[in-house]
Amino acid sequence: ITDSHGTMSPADRFTHDRVVGKGYHDRDIVVVTIRKPRSVWQHKRAHIFGRIVGENVERFSSYVSKKGVDAHGVLKCLQWEADISCSHIPMMVPSLGMVTVKIPNSLAFDQMDNGEFEEVYSALCEYVARVYWTGLTQEQIEEMERLMPE
């Protein structure tokens, strides 16, 4: 979000799509918590990667709509599926007993440092190369993201 003469507006297409997707409109009054991400480029990079996967891997087609790709949803699904940066929480479920629930951790930049993000991002690219794009390497997938427009 950028400040333009006392007003806030989305800084890029991804942020705009998230705001619109939540049902907000021009001139809506909202309450927000403002925080600055550690690296804006890493944030954009992750969501460009999620968009590429959503647009090109059939398994993630449910994350594509007329409004675009839910890149965040694709990333969370990939994290869960590959068990990359997930918490495992034991829970008691009636009639089943104790079960373990796997929950993807936040990739938000106020939640992890740049080094940890790089490890998670590389692991996600490696997983996609190994499972979905077997003709490509992790490095080629990372390069693909660099070539895509925001």
Largest CA distance in the chain: 58
Instruction: Spell out, as residue ranges, where the chain has pLDDT lower than 70.
Output: 1-6, 33-41, 109-110, 147-150
Residue 147 — φ and ψ, nearest 5°? Answer: -85, -10
- Check residue 148 and give its pLDDT: 67
pLDDT at 88: 97
Identify each DSSP E strand in 5-147 by its residue range.
7-9, 64-65, 68-69, 86-93, 97-104
Say how many C-beta atoms besides its own lie within 10 A of residue 4's C-beta. 8
User: What is the pLDDT, as a whole number, of residue 131?
Assistant: 96
The residue to which tokens 């740049």 are assigned: 114
Helix (H, G, I), strand (E, B) or coil at 42: helix
CA gap 122, 67 in Å, rounded:
28
**Residue 12 confidence (pLDDT):** 75
